[in-house]
Structure 1
Amino acid sequence: MSEEPTANGAGDDDTGNEGVVRRERFSGGPARGFLSSLAADRRIFAADLAVDRAHVVMLAEQDIVDDGTAGEILTALEEIEDAGHDALPDGEDVHEAIETAVIDRVGLDGGRMHTARSRNDEVATCIRYRLREDLLDAIETTLEARGALIETAEAERETVMPGFTHLQPAQPTTVAHWALSYERALARETARLIDAYDRTNQSPLGAAAFAGTPFDVERERTAALLGFAGTMDNAMDAVSARDFLVESTAALATLATTLSGLAEDIVIYANKGFVEVDDAYASTSSIMPQKKNPDTLELVRARAGDAAAGLNGLLNTLKGLPRAYNRDLQRAGGHAWRAIDGVSEATEVAAGAIATADWNDEALAAAAGEGFSTATGVADALAMAGVPFRTAHEVVASTAEAAGDDGDFEALDAAARDVLDASLTEYVDRQTIESALDPGQSVASRDSAGGPAPEAVADQIAAARTDHDADSDTLAERRAAIADAVESLQAEVETYV
């Protein structure tokens, strides 16, 4: 039985009805949805409206668009803002959808809004505009965490605790010294985020597709209206560059790694009974009623993996892209957004857990001398009395081997007789050795800059407060500059509306 002929004379094969069905199936629909970023662009909806307003104001000032048309467009943008992202018509992205919504309200003259620009420079500007706000929020959370650590250090200056290397008892230190070690790390995280902010805060607007525009635009004007510190020098670089996303995400991944270490310490200390996490940052077991789990800190610890994955995803998205704009870039921003949301939340949780933690002074003091942790102090005392440090080290090591954790003056004296052929008292008096064996005295003796002695810690706290205040001022200045720009842009818009 023969097949019914098709319109093109072929049977129902790859070139007949089946081919037509296949072409119909794959024409338009799925590809358009695959291309669309409208849902993901919700995050930059407000940024796009701000960029549109600044661009239209500049076009009017440069007599590229007449004042009446500018006023109609700006009025439409206000209506679109009031209606919200969900009211936008379908579009390939938020930029196209907003432009369509403007044209629906104004008519064809609404399309003049897009004069002298491309979606390429528009989206690059929107991402930078939104990201800088997120970076300032992230900076603020690091300052909160640093403040909590400084307050902990102030309150626990003399709280002796065990210090560890390789998770083995090493030397006594203090809770204050431990807290400041993380505060100093977070101060560097703050600095990295500020640097990332400053390189993000440059305007690509006016670069157009990648080769500039013949219109007499004033790029510095739109940059100022949007609160950017300056403009991107090269138009091709302006639309192509996403290194600011890499730098920001890398800074966040580094911050998350630091927080992960802090969280791990608290989890371990809680296990040993050194610290109790506040109920707000803990949970109970669903079956074991006696348990209190510091699981918010476990989630803080896990966010480092998320951030590292985001950085890796971003770098792989950008790897090998040719100049100038490529659609791959549509996938780049999501990695940064997820990282900044996750890490900022983790920083806030870590800050709260530290601020509300209850340190167990007695348990910490009892554990501070475990594992013969004051051994190094004894070796130092012998070295300061004239014994070569390597020989002093051998005396103490022999003591540890013979007496284990129970190293005392008698055990040390016996080891000295074996190694030095002399009693310890020929080099140093018993009181000095007894003092070196005491965890609190051991801590007090290490008063060099950066050490755990209360006096040294006081200096570190003072320096930390100074740096914290300076970074807080920097944050306030950056926020004020943006706020001033928002106010200035609104005032300019009102002259046309």
Structure 2
Amino acid sequence: MSEEEPSSDVVRRERFSGGPARRFLSSLASDERIFRADLQVDRAHVVMLAEQGIVDESEAADILGALDAVEEAGHAELPDGEDVHAAIETAVIERIGDVGGKMHTARSRNDEVATCLRHRLREDILELAETVIGFREVLCSVAEGHTETVMPGYTHLQPAQPTTVAHYLLSYESALARDTERLVAAFDRTNRSPLGGAAFAGTPFDIDRERVAALLGFDEVVENSMDASSARDFLTETTAAAATLATHLSGIAEDLVIFANKGYVDLSDDYSSTSSIMPQKKNPDTLELVRASAGDASAGLNGLLTTLKGLPRAYNRDLQRAHNHAFDAVDAVLEATEVAAGAVATAEWNADLLAEEAADGFSTATGIADLLAMQGLPFRTAHEVVAIAGENGGDFAAVEAAVEDVLGGELGEYVDPTAVEAALDPETSVASRDSLGGPAPESVAAALERVSADIAEAETAVGTRREALDAATDALREEVATYG
């Protein structure tokens, strides 16, 4: 058989074994990712068939033994086939004869692949969630050391109000907390078994779908057989969560690139590079690639949605192209999360320069306006006074002159001048902003306590789900061993 015409498998046999489109149809190479998932699905299905009396126990033992041999040989040793499912079945039949074909009783490749994808993707979701939680711990750890490190805050990349490094870092922790929630929710909707839906219309065999789901660690079944075989929204939800996470990673990467340029932060050499021609350069290359990962993830989401858009119910071969968009996005974002966490953990913040530039651009202006408003002046009037002061230097004298110009009286008639002088100081300005979630050191300290508790809760949620999957794997292994 030529390289262009792969040998037949148990699905095609001789009727569909040749022609130039054979390799175009095959997904065997890309299916390596779900190879072990498929073997687990096969084992659980065969155990259920034996328990239901659909295949003899001796036949189940032969099939399960052959599946072990296939796993030991590895994906690379599979016979050629249209996909990993057909290749594994072919390999089993080659080892034990036609009885191996009984492993496919009461199922289709349609519900089989849907189950394999969910089985593998849920592991990837948990790994990504664990990595995100690790990044959140890094952000909290660094923030704890910088609750009083004043820094410039920006809107539109213009000096806006002073804040602290801790407050800034916790803003990203909040975003990653929501990313964690999205990933856990995606896991829960992914962790449902389609097996037993068959091609799309169920099966006349007396199968036990709940038993297979339990053997594979799924929480429940996807009940409607047509939905079970064709649904791929679990891919969409996971990829969307990854793309949202990547957008947050891109944001912090962009910030750190800018801060490194200004000298506010010094990135570790481990997360930097240099120029091939300019020896003095220290470039934030890893963070630039983290920033670019948002493009990978959003492209994956767009590709997935485009593939799924307008497909008729139920299974269509387009779906063969769907899942790699999700897996590629998850892989890209996982690596980017690890790198971003490492960059933040090892960076050094230039506290002196940050404090020096925290007042640039009259960044304490809002504090002066708030102070006037607290004395009963309408905020819009206070805003006008301080805007004029900013146009004239933004110092104490400028505030005095603006009050006289707009209000027609001495500064002391409206507010304590010493309070105005204090409010012009970035540290005092930050300390005054002690509302819930604000940058004042005591507010940030309280936030850190809440965040630590939230992280512990997230670790428990993810850990519990991983333990459940591990327990199901062990239980299935023990069940299979009884047929040895």
TM tier, shorter chain? over 0.9
The equivalent of 1:484 in structure 2 is 471
1:400, CA displacement in angstroms?
A: 1.1
Among 410, 416, 428, which residue is 1:441 paired with?
428
2:20 counterpart SS class: helix
1:428, CA displacement in angstroms?
A: 1.7
How far apart are the structure 2 equivalents of 1:488 and 1:97? 26
1:430 maps onto 2:417 in alignment: yes
How far apart are the structure 2 equivalents of 1:78 and 1:156? 54
Aligned letter for 2:236? V
Deviation track 1:127-147 (CA, whole Å, cap 9, x = no partner) reads 000000000001011101111
RMSD value, Cα: 1.0
The equivalent of 1:396 in structure 2 is 386
The equivalent of 2:441 in structure 1 is 454
Aligned letter for 2:92? V
1:385 maps onto 2:372 in alignment: no
How far apart are the structure 2 equivalents of 1:280 and 1:30? 49
Among 17, 27, 33, which residue is 2:23 paired with?
33
The equivalent of 2:234 in structure 1 is 244
1:171 counterpart SS class: strand
Aligned pairs for 1:47-446 (under 5 A) are: 47-403=37-393, 407-446=394-433
How far apart are the structure 2 equivalents of 1:140 and 1:124? 24
How far apart are the structure 2 equivalents of 1:392 and 1:328? 62
Aligned letter for 1:139? A
How far apart are the structure 2 equivalents of 1:28 and 1:311? 34
How far apart are the structure 2 equivalents of 1:85 and 1:329? 22
Aligned letter for 1:83? A
2:163 counterpart SS class: strand
1:184 counterpart SS class: helix
Deviation track 1:98-156 (CA, whole Å, cap 9, x = no partner) reads 00000000101010000111100000000000000000001011101111111111110
Return the TM-score normalized by structure 2. 0.96
Deviation track 1:13-47 (CA, whole Å, cap 9, x = no partner) reads xxxxxxxxxxxxx9933211000000000000000
Among 449, 453, 456, which residue is 1:469 paired with?
456
How far apart are the structure 2 equivalents of 1:252 and 1:27? 39
How far apart are the structure 2 equivalents of 1:94 and 1:391? 72
How far apart are the structure 1 equivalents of 2:409 and 2:376? 14
Does 223-232 or 418-427 show the bigger shift? 418-427
Aligned letter for 1:159? T
Structure label with greater radius of gyration: 1
Aligned letter for 2:263? G
1:318, CA displacement in angstroms?
A: 0.5
1:401, CA displacement in angstroms?
A: 1.3
1:459, CA displacement in angstroms?
A: 1.2
1:425, CA displacement in angstroms?
A: 1.4
Q: Which runs of 5+ in 1 are unaligned?
A: 1-25
Aligned letter for 1:323? R
Aligned letter for 2:225? A
1:429, CA displacement in angstroms?
A: 2.0
The equivalent of 1:7 in structure 2 is none
How far apart are the structure 2 equivalents of 1:364 and 1:133? 42
Give the ranges of 4+ consecutive aligned residues of structure 1 lying more than 6 Å apart after TM superposition.
Answer: none
How far apart are the structure 1 equivalents of 2:292 and 2:248? 12
Deviation track 1:245-299 (CA, whole Å, cap 9, x = no partner) reads 0011011101100111111111110000000111111101111111111111110
Deviation track 1:55-74 (CA, whole Å, cap 9, x = no partner) reads 00111111111111111110
Aligned letter for 1:484? A
Does 415-424 or 434-443 show the bigger shift? 415-424
How far apart are the structure 1 equivalents of 2:426 and 2:185? 41
Return the TM-score normalized by structure 1. 0.93
Identical-residue share of aligned pairs (%): 68
How far apart are the structure 1 equivalents of 2:261 and 2:39? 51
How far apart are the structure 1 equivalents of 2:26 and 2:352? 61
Aligned letter for 2:395? D
How far apart are the structure 2 equivalents of 1:31 and 1:391? 75
1:170 counterpart SS class: strand
Deviation track 1:418-440 (CA, whole Å, cap 9, x = no partner) reads 11111111122221011100000
Q: Which runs of 5+ in 2 are unaligned?
A: 1-15
2:361 counterpart SS class: helix
